[in-house]
Structure 1
């Protein structure tokens, strides 16, 4: 596993630990853990700057931010949720 993969997976697993998840989890719980990882690893300004530099492709953003693609996709869910809350 690369350092980027290790960091992303560790943050995901910290999400499971934070929420008290135990054993295999259904998809919605896995997504919650990825959102936790995204909030932990991606500062808002960094995401905006990365989009300015590389555009909106998840793989390019992941490379720019030093995370995995699932973290980028989860961060987008966090952003969408915030926009819905503010609307």
Structure 2
């Protein structure tokens, strides 16, 4: 269940970044008539990069940890299924 939530959060994060950029572009266009939308979009991109980029980094770390945990689980299953052969002491 938590994997589904993290995947949904990653997807929603993309849309949040687009909304942030669009809102800043609209605010910039309303505030500064000439090149205001471009300036607002640049500022919005910076804000989205900080907030959504941080969230994306956390999601990426979670995915890497998930891969490591899955590999460890497979390794333990593999080691448990192979019989252990003791060396001879003679």
TM-score (norm 1): 0.31
| Greater Rg by CA | 2
| Structure with a larger share of its residues in helix | 2
Scaled by the length of structure 2, what TM-score is found? 0.30
